[in-house]
Amino acid sequence: MKTAVIISTRGFGVFRRDLLVDPSEVRLIGVFADRDIENLAAEQREWFDRIHVVRCGQDDPTPMLYSLVDLDEARDAVGALVAEAGTEDLSVHCYDEQNMLVAAEIRTHFGIRGPHLEDILPFRDKILMKDLLLKAGVRVPRFGHYSAERFAEDAVGYFHSIVDEVGVPFIIKPTDAAAAEGVYKISDLPGFLALEGDFGRNYEYEEFVEGTMYSVNIVSRAGETVFGGVTEYLVNSLDVPGGKVNADINLIDSDPRVARMVAFADQALDALGRPDGGSHLELFLTEDDEMVFLEVAARFKGMAGLAAMQRNYGVAFVNLAFEIESGVKSRPYDGEQIYCYDGVVPKTHGTVAELIEPELESDVEMTWKVSVGDLIEKSNSLLANGGTFLVSNKDYEAAYRDFRRLADYRPIRYAQAG
């Protein structure tokens, strides 16, 4: 029997155990952080032969890091499995950005097949990532290492040095973060001087690129693309904390942008040494029709987006990745295929006075995470949202019209402005 270790509930929520050709072929072992286990539904808990609840990998985590497992405790849990039956039929699976390095370190430590630490680092270290892509001829934003020491010594001079290198406005962001957490857009010297200077972690600065954002979603097997699709973003993710809805629509395959952007993503993944399974790459398309790389992750996009993709393309993506990674086969997706995309309810700051559903031609499934009367604290993390929703329609043109309508949709009315 095969043994598959699942680290983190994120991404795994849309896995379909009922699609496994032979469920008795594999036993599932869960390793989840104490705050993350709450996201595992009662039905899903029944799928697991064993569940290990471990400490969070940080003592005082932000919501983005709630799912991070403690490396030592997770490694001990997997070590017990290795002691029981060895590594030949053991696989470790993770679809959560925060735990990609943890999973890779565990595979590396025990010699388990799958992406090891050196394979995942280019997808987590944004400086290494862009260095490799630059060498491969992929257009990336101009960038450099941020130095807290230079800021402390001469912040004004450092600002002008960065501007000379990448222009203004420019972006300051962590080299290992996700979900737009800890990202700053610097438009002038006062904005730069207002930074805390030393962020306590590695940061970079990079050119601000003006353009429409897209996500290229790839599934790879043995270095080849077995699925490629593209989603168009409604707004830049930096606009979401200000109250704009974060939505992205899956483009129809006949759209000429799809083949072009998938080819761009293939070039980038090949330069980084693409791992098996799911990946998603974000890029900008400028007014001059230039594609500019933003970042890439060796995992599928977020939960709501993945659920929408499965319905839109009629593919059980997590099952497909699981089969590629473990060898455990699944039957094809059996749900209705319908044009579908997701949206994220933004949160700003204030007391919630009213929750407003969008008026669209399409069907909408809302999942609220806030209630009337809640006091919302300000956050720039996309994970700290007020809910998610799925939009579906059998008519693509109608679905796209609704996508554009969402630009003016404000889901939450506040009793007091932030």
> Among 14, 45, 17, which residue's Cα sits nearest to residue 32?
45
pLDDT in tens, 135-153: 999 999 999 999 999 999 9
In the DSSP assignment, the letter for residue 255 is S
- At residue 388, the 3 state secondary structure works out as strand
**φ and ψ of 85, to 5 deg:** -140, 5
Q: Are 333 and 310 in contact (CB under 8 A)?
A: yes
In the DSSP assignment, the letter for residue 68 is P
CA distance 48 to 93: 14
pTM of the model: 0.90
Q: Are 19 and 42 in contact (CB under 8 A)?
A: no
Nearest 5°: the CA angle 344, 346, 351 is 140
**Cis upstream peptide for 169 (omega within 30°):** yes
- At residue 196, the 3 state secondary structure works out as coil
Token pair 């098996």 is found at 276
- The residue-averaged pLDDT of 187-202 equals 93
At position 79, the amino acid (one-letter code) is G
Percent of the chain with pLDDT over 70: 95
Domains of the chain: 2-114 (3.40.50.20), 143-207 (3.30.1490.20), 212-414 (3.30.470.20)
Query: What DSSP string describes 314-383?
Result: T--HHHHHHHHHH---BPPP-SPP-EEEEEEE---SEEEEEE-----SSEEEEEES--TTPEEPP---TT
Residue 119 has pLDDT above 80, yes or no: yes
CA distance 319 to 273: 22
Predicted confidence at residue 180, as pLDDT, reads 65
- At residue 333, the 3 state secondary structure works out as coil
229 strand-pairing partners:
217
pLDDT in tens, 60-72: 888 888 999 999 9
Q: Are 143 and 207 in contact (CB under 8 A)?
A: yes
- pLDDT grade for 313, boundaries at 50, 70 and 90: very high
Q: Are 303 and 15 in contact (CB under 8 A)?
A: no
